[in-house]
Amino acid sequence: MSGTVCTAHWRRLDGEGTDRCTLGAADHGWLLSGQAVWREAGVETSLSYAVRCDPAWASLSADIAGHQGGKPIALRLLRTGPGWTLNGALQPGTQGCVDLDLSFTPATNLLPLRRLSIDGPVPVQVTAAWLVPDLDRMEPLPQTYSRLDEGDFAYTSPGFTSRLTVHPSGFVTHYAGLWEGWVDG
């Protein structure tokens, strides 16, 4: 079975930028494919991304390509036994990180939200392999998610807390202070 499940669209609330991501069912799991464009400190960035997951929503790999301030970007992220690699280089501390967090898009919040059973206010803890905003390395990022009500979750990571409004697809439609959007399909 393969095909598009739905598409999410966002606009940044903290600056100029948009993102569009399609969730697709694939023969051996799931695929998130998107395009994020933003301007920060006068630097324009445009990135296409594709994140692959297994049928249980465990992140397997991601490809990111585009440009940042005219500089070409081409990244290959891969989960291996010893940890995540970035263009073939093992990223310290990422062994055992099942979830991938791309710092530039709310799309990857869908992964733990779909993978985990988050039924109430008790926080569920994960550690994601986080592609840092500079796009030059990955770090382990402790995160918690807890359900506040039917479509709202509390999200925390070190030094950051936000309320997430989540569509039934698992895509975030409101990320307090950062993103707002909608889902087609």
- What span, in angstroms and rounded, lies between the C-alpha atoms of 25 and 19? 20
The pLDDT of residue 10 is 98
Q: Which helix (H) or strand (E) holds 114?
A: helix 110-115
**Residues paired with residue 33 on neighbouring β-strands, in sequence order:** 22, 50
Query: Is the model's pLDDT at 119 over the cut of 90?
Result: no
What pLDDT, on the 0 to 100 scale, is given for residue 154? Answer: 94
CA 54 to the chain's CA centroid:
15
108 neighbors 36 (Cβ within 8 angstroms) = no
Query: What is the band of 2 on the pLDDT scale with cuts at 50, 70, 90?
Result: low
No. of helices (H) and no. of strands (E), the chain: 1, 15
Q: Which of 85, 103, 57, 177 is nearest to 75 (CA)?
A: 85
In the chain, domain spans: 3-184
Query: Residue 42 contacts by C-beta under 8 Å, 6 or more apart in sequence?
Result: none
pLDDT tens digit sequence for 131-183:
999 999 999 999 999 999 989 999 999 999 999 999 999 999 999 899 999 99
- pTM recorded for the entire structure: 0.94
pLDDT mean over 115-119 = 86
What's residue 33's pLDDT? 97
Instruction: Encode pLDDT of 28-81 as tens digits.
Output: 999 999 999 999 999 999 999 999 999 999 999 999 999 999 999 999 999 999
**pLDDT for the residue 53:** 97
Identify the pLDDT of residue 1.
45
